Each structure stands twice: as structure tokens, then as C-alpha cells.
Amino acid sequence: MGSINLIAGIYFLSLFLSFTSRFKVHSSSFDETYAKEILSAAQKDKDWLVSVRRKIHEYPELLFEEFNTSALIRRELDKLGIPYIHPVAKTGIVAQIGSGSRPIIALRADMDALPLQELVEWEYKSKIDGKMHGCGHDAHTTMLLGAAKLLNQRKDKLQGTVRLLFQPGEEGGAGASQMIKEGALGDAEAIFGMHIDYINPTGAIASISGPFLAAGCFFEAKIVGNGGHAAAPHVSVDPILAASFTILALQQLISRESDPLHSHVLSITYIRGGTALNVIPPYVEFGGTLRSLTTKGLHHLRQRLKEVIEGQAAAHRCNAYVDMKEEDFIPYPAVVNDDNLHLHVKRVGKLLLGPENVREAKKHMAGEDFAFYQELIPGIMFGIGIRNEKVGSIHSPHSPFFYLDEDVLPIGAALHTALADTYLNEHKYSITQ
């Protein structure tokens, strides 16, 4: 009996040593030579990447109207011989490269533009009045196309499957939620998202584990009183006074009800009432946005916002109506990055870009619908730098002066490729053993 146990022990030990040795070989296969090959291949595609990005930039399309952008992506995928599903979420595309088997991961890029008038004068500025790629989504889409080409060149070596998600409607449309409903994730076990970052220099990336971007929503309120002549306020019910007290009371939700160590924002962004100097108006309208670094925190703020508005209105003999605008703007959850994926991004980034170009990201109170994917599977959103003062790439997203350093395009394509390739290589044993 003892000899049988000994033989069994030796057998399982040999299996374990064989597995770990193979894992080390594959983990170390992403070495400096590999990194140089990926970067070199991406740089050779730079002219093509710049051309694609400029075509998208010249003809920006708003949420769920990305028909021309979608057609351009499909043409490029057809040239590369990469299969895809279309339409997903009206204009979205899901392409797939690899064996079709597990492990399966997803790479995501958003496609929609902003309702902005571009004020940067250059040859390839927006040709559509009032619309602009002022948040870098044209770059995101281009970098993912670049990764598609690089991954397709390595498709016979991929140790699993990569799903490429070209997503519409990120800017307020919760396009990610619609993509999920229509099966875009498939059996993906992890997802990576990359966003341009105007703070860090071109060629640097910034990542963080845990909460990164805020959960957010919008609201509008109407306080109804009884209008009348300003010379006789006692016979009126003044909604302006009620709205003033209400707005001040709302600010106390942050200063007196929220833990100072938690991150919350409540901003009133407009207020409108009457137009005459001698008339108390019958109603006042105002609205704004709520943000929290936790989804739970956002739910609490939404509840208290409604209670305070209705309570303050009642105290001033008015009626209040609160609209959380969910039909127009679906509330976004918080972007919370997976720790293991964060470490993966740092590890790959250091070898591909150099340790000096891998930094710790700072938390922001902006929102991103990438969070919807993270509610289902581990995911990470990280920034890729575009700051270059020499070319004027210094302005923040959502600025009409936003300008992109196009040197980022091959870097982003190579990074997408390396992140996917190495993840599959390192995780295939969890499937096959």
C-alpha cells in the first residue's frame, strides 16, 4: 500500500513539475524580443492607422448613429479576413480571432463622437458642423483595428480566443449595456478597455486597481408654486425661494451626510424660472448630476435627492416633481478595476513600454459605461497617454480644442495585442488541466 502511495505521489509530483515548468516557459515567452516584434509590426502599420483614424475623425457620428464608422470598420475587417457579427446594438460590431475555444477574452473600443463644434484648424478637422471626436473614440476604434490586424497575423499561435467589441453609444447612451443584452461578451472571462489620457505623455500608460471612475446619473426637478405680482408676495407661493433653499439643502447631502473619506459629487448645473422683473413665476426648474465612486453610494444619493427636494418644496408650500432621466440617460455603475488584470497590465506595459512609462492612475469622478461589462466579468479600464506639447495634444477630452498625438496609435495597437496574447498564453492551463 505504501509503495502504491509513493508511486502515485511521484506521478502527481512529476505532473505538477511538468505543468509549472511549461507555465514558466510560456509566461516568459513574452520577452524583450517579442515586445520589439509587436512594436515593430505596429509601427509598420502607422500610416494605415493614421489614415483610418483621420477618416473617422473627419466624419464624426453621435451615439447609435455610427453607420459610416461601422461600415469603415467592416471594410477593414473584410480586407483582413476577420469574421464578425453585425449589427450589435444597432451599429456595433463583434469580431473574433483565434481558435474559438477557451480561454476567451474581450477588447473593447467605443465609436461615438460628441455634439461639439471642433475649433482646431487642421486639414482633417470635422466636416460635420456641431459634431466632433473630442474624446478620442476615433483613436480607440483605430487602435483596436490595429490590434485586429496584429492578432490576425498571430491567429495560429493564439492559445484561445479574442473578441473585439466595437461599441456604439458610450457618451450617455449606455451602449455597453445594449451590447451585453445582444450577446457581445459571449463566453469571455475578462475584458480590457483603453482610454486616451491627456495628462500622461504619449507612450505612457496609467492603471489602478479598485475604484477608478464614478457611478453617475442625471436629474431634473420642477418646483411649482403660485405666481403673482412681485409687489404682493404674500398672495403668491414663491417657487424661487423654495428652489433656493432646496439647492442649498442638497449641498448638505455631501457636507453633512456623506463620509468625508468617500467620494461623492452633487452638482446643480442649471436653474431657470421667470423672465419678468416684477413677476413671481409659477414654477422653477433646475437640474444636474450625481457622482459616486461606488454604485451603492450613487443609489443612496438618488434616494436622498428626491426626499430633500420634495421635503423642501413642501416646507415652502410648493409641490415638487423629480425626474431622474433614466429613459434618456441610464445611470452608469462605477468602474472598478480587477486587481489581477491591473497587475497584468502593469507587467505587460513595463516590458512593452519600459518601467518608466507605467504609472499609477488617479481616480476620476467622470463616468464610463465600461462599468456594465465589469458587473458581469473581471475587467480593467486604463489610460494611454497622448500628451505632446509640440503638436498641441494638451487639451482635455470634451474640449473643442482637443487634439490627438497620432503617435499613440501604433503603441495602443501593440499594447492591445500583447495584453490579449499574453493573457491567453498564461491562462490556457486553467482550461486544459
Higher pLDDT, 13 or 155: 155
Cell of 400: 473643442
pLDDT band for position 433 (50/70/90)? very low
Q: What pLDDT, on a 0 to 100 scale, did the predictor assign at position 430? A: 63
Question: Burial letters for 362-401: b for 16+ Cβ neighbours within 10 Å, e otherwise?
Answer: eebbebbbbbbbbeebbbbbbbbbbbbeeeebbbebebee
pLDDT band for position 291 (50/70/90)? very high
pLDDT band for position 169 (50/70/90)? very high
pLDDT band for position 428 (50/70/90)? confident
Query: pLDDT at residue 126 above 90?
Result: yes
- Count of CA atoms in the C-beta half-sphere (13 A) of 225: 27
Query: pLDDT at residue 133 above 70?
Result: yes
- As a whole number, mean pLDDT of residues 174-189 equals 98
Strands 379-387 and 205-207: what pairing? antiparallel
**Annotated binding-site ranges:** 135, 137, 171, 195, 398
**Annotated binding-site ranges for Mn(2+):** 135, 137, 171, 195, 398
Within 10 Å of residue 289's Cβ, how many Cβ atoms? 18
Higher pLDDT, 29 or 176: 176
Q: What pLDDT, on a 0 to 100 scale, did the predictor assign at position 31? A: 84
Predicted confidence (pLDDT) per residue in 405-425, tens digit: 999 999 999 999 999 999 999
Q: What pLDDT, on a 0 to 100 scale, did the predictor assign at position 26? A: 43
CA-based nearest residue to 62, from 118, 132, 117: 132
Contact 52, 65 (CB under 8 A): no
Q: What pLDDT, on a 0 to 100 scale, did the predictor assign at position 19? A: 42
Nearest-angstrom CA–CA distance, 398 and 115: 9
What's the per-residue H, E or C state across the chain?
Answer: CHHHHHHHHHHHHHHHHHHHHHHHHHHCCCCHHHHHHHHHHHHHCHHHHHHHHHHHHHCCCCCCCCHHHHHHHHHHHHHHCCCEEEEECCCEEEEEEECCCCCEEEEEEECCCECCCCCCCCCCCCCCCCCECCCCHHHHHHHHHHHHHHHHHCCCCCCCEEEEEEECCCCCCCHHHHHHHCCCCCCCCEEEEEEEEEEEECCCEEECCEEEECEEEEEEEEEECECEECCCHHHCECHHHHHHHHHHHHHHHHHHHCCCCCCEEEEEEEEECCCCCCEECCEEEEEEEEEECCHHHHHHHHHHHHHHHHHHHHHCCCEEEEECCCCCCCCECCEEECHHHHHHHHHHHHHHHCHHHEEECCCECCCCCCHHHHCCCCEEEEEEEEEECCCCECCCCCCCCCCCCCCHHHHHHHHHHHHHHHHHHHHCHHHHC
Predicted confidence (pLDDT) per residue in 297-328, tens digit: 999 999 999 999 999 999 999 999 999 999 88
Predicted confidence (pLDDT) per residue in 88-115, tens digit: 999 999 999 999 999 999 999 999 999 9
Predicted TM-score of the model (pTM): 0.90
pLDDT band for position 372 (50/70/90)? very high
Q: What pLDDT, on a 0 to 100 scale, did the predictor assign at position 32? A: 87
- As a whole number, mean pLDDT of residues 56-68 equals 98
Query: pLDDT at residue 17 above 80?
Result: no
